[in-house]
Amino acid sequence: MNARVTRLREQSLRAVPSISAERALLLTDFYAQVDRLLSIPVQRALAFQHILQSKAICINDGELIVGERGPAPKATPTYPEICCHTAEDLDILNTREKTPFHVSSDVRRQYEDRVIPFWQRQTMRERIFELMTCEWKAAYETGVFTEFMEQRAPGHTVLDDKIYRRGMLDLIGDIQAARDGLDFLQDPAAYEKQEQLKAMTMAADALICFANRHAEKARELGAREPDPQRKAELDRIARVCSHVPAHAPRDFWESLQMYWFVHLGVIIELNPWDAFNPGRLDQHLYPFYQQGLADGTLTREQATELLQCFWIKFNNHPAPSKVGVTAQESGTYTDFATINTGGLRPDGADGVNEVTYLILDVIEEMRLLQPGSNLQLSKKNPDRFLKRAARIIRTGFGQPSIFNADVVVQQLIRQGKSVEDARNGGTSGCIETGAFGKENYNLTGYFNLPKVLELALNNGLDPRTGLRVGPPTGEASSFGSYAAVWDAFVRQLCFLIDTKVRGNNIIERLYATYLPVPFLSLLIDDCTRNGLDYHAGGARYNTTYIQGVGLGTITDSLTAIRYHVFDHGTITMAHLLQALAGDFRDNEPLRQLLLHRTPKYGNDEAYPDAVMQEVFEAYYQAIHGRPNTKGGHYEINWLPTTVHIYFGSVTGALPDGRRGGEPLSEGVSPVQGADRNGPTAVIKSVAKMDHVRTGGTLLNQKLTPQLLSDEVGIDRLAQLVRSYFKLDGHHIQFNVVDAATLRAAQREPDKYRDLIVRVAGYSDYFCDLGETLQNEIISRTEHPVI
Partner 1 sequence: MKAIDCGRRAAPEPSAPRGLVFDIKRYAIHDGPGIRTTIYLKGCPLECAWCHNPEGQLGVPEIIFWTGRCIQCGACLEVCPEDGDLDAAHCRRCGRCVQICPAGAREMAGRWMGVREVMAEIGQDRVFYDSSAGGVTFSGGEPLQQPEFLAALLRACQEEEIHTAVDTCGFAAPSAFDQVSPDTDLFLYDLKLMDDAAHRHYTGVSNRLILENLRRLAHRGAAVTVRVPVIPGISDDAGNLDAIGRFVASLGAVNQVDLLPYHRMAADKYGRLHRKYRIPATEPPSTERMEQLAEGLRQWGIAVTIGG
The contact set with partner 1 (CB under 8 A) reads 564, 568-571, 575, 588-590, 592-593, 595-597, 599, 604, 677-681, 684, 707, 710, 712-713, 715-716, 719-720, 722-723, 726-727, 783, 785-786
Residues paired with residue 544 on neighbouring β-strands, in sequence order: 442, 634
What residue spans of 80-147 are helical by DSSP H? 87-95, 105-110, 116-119, 124-131, 134-142
Looking at 81, 147, 233, 432, which residue is catalytic? 432
CB nearer to partner 1: give 472 or 589. 589
Rounded Cα distance between 187 and 11, Å, is 54
Are 456 and 485 contacting, i.e. CB atoms less than 8 angstroms apart?
A: yes
d(CA 239, CA 22): 27
Q: Among residues 516, 536, 438, which one has the least CA distance to residue 199?
A: 516
CB of 711 to partner 1, least distance (A): 11
Please identify, using beta-carbon distances, which residue of 294 and 740 lies nearer to partner 1: 740
Q: Are 412 and 695 in contact (CB under 8 A)?
A: no
- Other Cβ atoms less than 10 A from the Cβ of 510: the count is 15
Sequence-distant (≥ 6) Cβ neighbours of residue 411 within 8 angstroms: 433, 691, 692, 693, 694, 695, 696, 730
Please identify, using beta-carbon distances, which residue of 91 and 567 lies nearer to partner 1. Answer: 567
Instruction: Decide if 301 contacts 361 (C-beta within 8 A).
Output: no
Of 151, 171, 152, give the one whose Cα is nearest residue 162.
171
DSSP letter at 111 equals I
Residues 287 and 276: their CA atoms lie apart, in Å, by 22
Give the HSE-up count for residue 602: Cα atoms under 13 Å, Cβ half-sphere. 27
- How many Cα atoms within 13 Å fall on the side-chain side of residue 336? 25
What is the residue-wise DSSP string for 291-357?
HHHHTTS--HHHHHHHHHHHHHHHHT-PPPP--HHHHHHT-SS----EEEEE-B-TTSSB---HHHH
Nearest distance, CB of residue 479 and partner 1, angstroms:
19
Nearest in space to 250 (alpha carbons), one of 263, 235, 240, 238: 240
Determine the Cα–Cα distance for residues 232 and 222; give it in Å rounded to an integer. Answer: 8
Backbone angles phi, psi at 508, to 5 degrees: -60, -40
Q: Are 54 and 302 in contact (CB under 8 A)?
A: no
For residues 345 and 575, which CB has a smaller minimum distance to partner 1 in the complex?
Answer: 575
Q: Is 184 within 8 Å of 299 (Cβ atoms)?
A: no
Give least dist CB 712 to partner 1, A: 6
How many CA atoms does the CB half-sphere of 170 hold within 13 Å? 13
For the CB of residue 44, give the shortest distance to partner 1 in the complex, in Å: 52
Rounded to a whole number of angstroms, the minimum distance from the CB of residue 785 to partner 1 is: 6
- Count other C-beta atoms under 10 Å from residue 437's C-beta: 22
Of 45 and 732, which has the nearer Cβ to partner 1? 732
Any idea what DSSP says for residue 767?
G
Taking the complex as a whole, the smallest distance from the CB of residue 444 to partner 1 amounts, in Å, to 35
d(CA 300, CA 290): 10
Tell me whether residue 177 or residue 712 sits nearer to partner 1 (CB atom).
712
- Find the shortest distance in angstroms from Cβ 681 to partner 1: 6
Task: Check 58, 83, 430, 767 and give the catalytic one.
Answer: 430
Rounded Cα distance, 726 and 714, in Å: 18
3-class DSSP assignment, residue 130? helix
Nearer to partner 1, 582 or 589 (CB): 589
Pick the closer one to partner 1 by CB: 115 or 571. 571
Closer Cβ to partner 1, 260 or 725, answer by number: 725
Rg value, the chain, Cα: 26
Give yes or no: 430 in active site.
yes
Give the Cα separation of 96 and 12 in Å (integer).
21
Separation CA 315–CA 74 (nearest Å):
8
Kindly tell me which of 452 and 703 has the beta carbon lying closer to partner 1.
703
Residue 252, judged by CB atoms within 10 A of its CB (0-12, 13-18, 19+), counts as: buried
Cβ-based nearer residue to partner 1, 529 or 716: 716
Taking the complex as a whole, how short is the minimal distance between the CB of residue 596 and partner 1, in angstroms?
4
Nearer to partner 1, 213 or 591 (CB): 591
Which residues are annotated as catalytic?
Answer: 430, 432
